[in-house]
């Protein structure tokens, strides 16, 4: 099953609300707040790579208060 990890930075002081919104998205199998350069790491899984891309571009990247994101597509094997 294709998967990706998305590293996210948000606007300050929106962590709880943002995490709730992430977890509502179909295909987001894990969303965790982290310390360091990024605010969240999100694991996305879907039936196809195209569906993974669609979840990221049409849902995650459109969330209010998202500042920036970096997507890591998992390698097979």
pLDDT of residue 76: 75
Beta strands 3-10 and 28-33, pairing class: unpaired
Length of the chain: 77
pLDDT of residue 77: 47
Fold for domain 3-73?
A: Alpha-Beta Plaits (3.30.70)
Domain residue spans in the chain?
A: 3-73
Residue located via tokens 């709730």? 20
C-alpha distances in Å from residue 46, one per residue of 5, 23, 25: 12, 15, 12
Question: Please, what are the averages of pLDDT over each run of 10 residues along the chain (77 residues)?
Answer: 96 93 97 96 97 97 96 85
Residue located via tokens 């987001």? 28
pLDDT of residue 9: 97
pTM of the model: 0.93
């Amino acid at each position: 099953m294709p998967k990706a990890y998305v590293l996210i930075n948000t606007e300050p002081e929106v962590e709880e609300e943002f995490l709730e919104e992430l977890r509502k998205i179909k295909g987001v199998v894990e969303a965790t707040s982290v310390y360091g350069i990024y605010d969240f790491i999100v694991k996305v899984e879907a039936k196809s790579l195209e569906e993974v891309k669609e979840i990221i571009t049409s849902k995650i990247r459109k969330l209010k208060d998202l500042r920036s994101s970096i997507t890591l597509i998992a390698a097979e094997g």
